[in-house]
Structure 1
Amino acid sequence: MSETTEQPQNAEADGVNHYYSDQYLELQKEPVLYEWHIDHAPRAAWSSSLLMGGVCWLIALMVFINSDSQNPWPLIWVLLILGVWGVIFSRYLTDPNQLYHYRMTAKGIYYTQQDKIPEVAYTIARGIGGLLIVGSIIAVGLVGPLALAGAGAGAFLAFKITNMKPRVFHSGCQFKGFGGLSIFRDVYGIKIIEMPRETGQYGIVLTHKEDYERVLNDLARSLPDYQITEAKSRKEFGY
């Protein structure tokens, strides 16, 4: 197991927000049997990103059709660029790939989860967000009140990214009680659900193809009272 420097719960270190669960802190004391890393793309990441950009493009189309101004192009260009930026912002900053680091122990499994976003991306995003809102405000003066919709969209994006910081979640799931294992082989995923759900633990385990059967067998052996069900779709699996 590689050494890591842990921070107090909800502490902020090096510009990163860390969040620790009690299960993670407990399982961290146990010897690690094996560990692995995985880079995972969220479900429907691109569709939600395109929807965000599509709102700006729809407003641009409405401006083009309904504008009383003889020169609506400054606002239209702002909205078109804002839409492209919205797609990039949403896919790579709001809904980016997730990096997981799993550690299997005899008493449970614990892991870290963080966004796959380099620090430089936050700096660039803040700068572009500021430029977009300035451009939207200028467009209001050039085109008129209809441009307020674009300015509002720019303000929303700028507000969202001004204080963005990387977040790292440290979670764990101990082997105890009874519940279920939901599996979905298409993404090599296993969901641990302890009953009752109101007080039980929950964990999501994602693996590489070559590790899947090993991890599933170890979980099934460690949780003999858990019922194993196989999801028929990613939507049913819920991740």
Structure 2
Amino acid sequence: MSETTEQPQNVEADGVNHYYSEQYLELQKEPVLYEWEIERQRRDVWLVSGIVGGVFILMWLCTSLSADRGGFFSGNIFFLVIGVVTALQNRYLFAPNQLYHYRMTAKGIYYTQQDKIPEVAYTIARGIGGLLIVGSIIAVGLVGPLALAGAGAGAFLAFKITNMKPRVFHSGCQFKGYGELSIFRDVYGIKIREMPRDTGQYGIVLTHKEDYERVLNDLARSLPDYQITEAESRKEFGY
């Protein structure tokens, strides 16, 4: 966490998908007391990626075991390659780690949330997607129409990757009204919910271990009418 009194700079899209909230734009005008950055992995991301890629790996196993010859290394190896690539793409492109940058002010807290995906990952993934298309089409003549599924998957992935851009969400939560601060110390997280929930402001604050108590105390002091509740599990906390 770093101390700063620097005025916020104007934010430009720079060709990236940016989404701004009114609270963020308003709080951006305020002097920043301190700020911090933190990276977090999405919940159950490897499980979901394994399931997505596992569909193609299962197809490879079934077709390989039923083949007359070739065993596990028959022409249907394309299904295995597609399964592995699909799982990795889902993990690192479709469900990447999230990078948060928080700024605390006297009137509220505002932050950016973005996918942490380096540009080189897009380049590599596009190349792999193109190779999958070519390889699967060639495999049609070797192992039959089943390889068309691989070609279709490669085309779909290549199309999705080509049109993907990093998403950056700019959110904020002003200090006003009354509501609830939900805390979960296992992830050093704090949720701000203004009442009524359907129209009130909402924000999620994630911190490093050494910064947690300071941020929590500052939020509690700035929101004296908010009730503090402690979640007993990550599922209850909702992150």
Output the TM-score relative to the length of structure 2: 0.90
Q: CA deviation at 1:112?
A: 0.8
Aligned-partner residue type, residue 136 of structure 1: S
Q: Mapping of 1:95-110 within 5 angstroms?
A: 95-110=95-110
What residue is the counterpart of 1:40 in the other structure? 40
Q: Which stretch shows the higher mean deviation, 82-91 or 25-34?
A: 82-91
Change (3 A) 1:37 1:102: same
Aligned-partner residue type, residue 120 of structure 1: V
Hey, what's the Cα distance between the residues in 1 that align with 2:204 and 2:61? 42
**CA deviation map 1:102-158 (0-9, x unaligned):** 000111100011111111111111111111122222222321222233233223322
Q: Which stretch shows the higher mean deviation, 87-96 or 153-162?
A: 153-162
Number of aligned pairs?
234
**CA deviation map 1:29-80 (0-9, x unaligned):** 1111111111111111111111122111011112113457879956422111
Structure 2: state its 5+ residue gaps. none
1:6 to 11, 21, 35: 11
Hey, what's the Cα distance between the residues in 1 that align with 2:51 and 2:9? 39
Residue pair 1:50, 1:87 contacting (<8 A) in 2 also: yes
Residue pair 2:50, 2:87 contacting (<8 A) in 1 also: yes
* Partner SS for 2:171: strand
Residue pair 2:76, 2:143 contacting (<8 A) in 1 also: no
What residue is the counterpart of 1:233 in the other structure? 233
Output the TM-score relative to the length of structure 1: 0.90
RMSD (CA atoms):
2.0
Change (3 A) 1:54 1:154: same
What residue is the counterpart of 1:162 in the other structure? 162
- Is the aligned partner of 1:177 residue 2:182? no
Hey, what's the Cα distance between the residues in 2 that align with 1:232 and 1:139? 52
Q: Which stretch shows the higher mean deviation, 190-199 or 97-106?
A: 190-199
* Partner SS for 1:111: strand
What residue is the counterpart of 1:59 in the other structure? 59
Structure 1: state its 5+ residue gaps. none
What residue is the counterpart of 1:86 in the other structure? 86
Residue pair 1:188, 1:209 contacting (<8 A) in 2 also: yes
Aligned-partner residue type, residue 225 of structure 1: D
Residue pair 2:107, 2:174 contacting (<8 A) in 1 also: yes
- Is the aligned partner of 1:28 residue 2:33? no
Change (3 A) 1:198 1:75: farther
Residue pair 1:59, 1:150 contacting (<8 A) in 2 also: no
Residue pair 1:122, 1:165 contacting (<8 A) in 2 also: no
What residue is the counterpart of 1:146 in the other structure? 146
